[in-house]
Amino acid sequence: METIGHHPVSHPRPCSVAVIGAGPAGLVAARRLEAAGVEVVVFEKSRGIGGRVATRRTSDGLAFDHGAQYVTARGASFARFLLDAQSAGLAIRWDPVVDPPRARFAEGSTGGASTAEPPGWFVGSPGMSSLFRSLASPLTVRYEVTVTMVDPTDRGVWLVADDSERGRRRIGAFDAAVIAIPAPQASAIAGHLPTVAETLASVVTTPCWALMIAFEGSRNLPAEVFRPADGPIAWVARDASKPGRSNDSTTLVVHATPEWSRDHLDDAPDAVTAHLLTALASVVGTTLSAPTLVAAHRWRYAQTTVPLGAPFIAAADGRVLIGGDWTTGARVEAAWDSGEAMANHLLGA
Ligand SMILES: Cc1cc2nc3c(=O)[nH]c(=O)nc-3n(C[C@H](O)[C@H](O)[C@H](O)COP(=O)(O)OP(=O)(O)OC[C@H]3O[C@@H](n4cnc5c(N)ncnc54)[C@H](O)[C@@H]3O)c2cc1C
Do both 244 and 299 map to the same domain? yes
Which residue intervals of 129-242 are DSSP H helices? 133-136, 183-190, 196-201
Whether 186 and 251 map to the same domain: the answer is no
In this structure, the answer to whether residues 296 and 335 fall within a common structural domain is no
In a domain, 284, yes or no: yes
What DSSP state is assigned to residue 316? T
CB 333 within 8 A of CB 102: no
- Say yes or no: 48 and 187 in one domain: yes
Q: How many domains does the chain have?
A: 2
Residues 259 and 283 in one domain: yes
Of 271, 286, 304, which residue sits at a domain end? 304
Nearest CA to ligand 1 atom 6: 68
Measure 332 CA to ligand 1 centroid, in angstroms.
8
Residue 146 has pLDDT above 70, yes or no: yes
Query: At 349, is the pLDDT very low, low, confident or very high (cuts 50, 70, 90)?
Result: confident
Average pLDDT of the chain to the nearest whole number:
89
Indicate if 277 and 136 belong to the same structural domain.
Answer: no
Residue 90 lies in a domain: no
Q: Do both 180 and 329 map to the same domain?
A: yes
Burial of 31 (0-12, 13-18, 19+ CB in 10 A): buried
340 occurs within a structural domain: yes
Contact 159 CB / ligand 1 (< 6 Å): no
Whether pTM exceeds 0.75? yes
Pairing of strands 249-256, 204-216: antiparallel
Mean pLDDT of 19-27: 98
Which tens digit of pLDDT belongs to each residue from 91-121?
Answer: 999 999 888 765 545 453 223 334 434 468 9
Each residue of 289-303: pLDDT tens digit? Answer: 678 899 999 999 999
Q: Could you tell me if 218 and 293 lie in one domain?
A: yes
| Pocket flag, ligand 1, residue 325 (CB < 6 Å) | yes
Nearest to residue 16, comparing CAs of 36, 2, 44? 36
* CATH code, 236: 3.90.660.10
Residue 131 shares a structural domain with residue 37 = yes
One-letter amino acid for residue 9 of the chain: V
Domain enclosing residue 233, as ranges: 205-304
- CATH number reported for the structural domain that contains residue 194 in this entry: 3.50.50.60
- Residue 127 Cβ contacting ligand 1 at under 6 Å: no
Distance from Cα 141 to the centre of ligand 1, integer Å: 17
Contact present, 281 and 288 (Cβ < 8 Å): yes
Query: Are both 142 and 187 inside the same structural domain?
Result: yes
Distance CA 52, CA 61 (A): 21
Check if 45 has its Cβ closer than 6 Å to any atom of ligand 1.
yes
Same domain, 176 and 288: no
Contact 332 CB / ligand 1 (< 6 Å): yes
- Asked if 234 and 255 count as a contact pair (C-beta separation under 8 A), the reply is yes
Among 27-41, 51-65, 272-286, the range of highest mean pLDDT: 27-41
Q: What is the mean pLDDT of residues 251-265?
A: 96
Q: Which atom of ligand 1 is nearest to the CA of 185?
A: 38
Does one domain contain both 283 and 215? yes
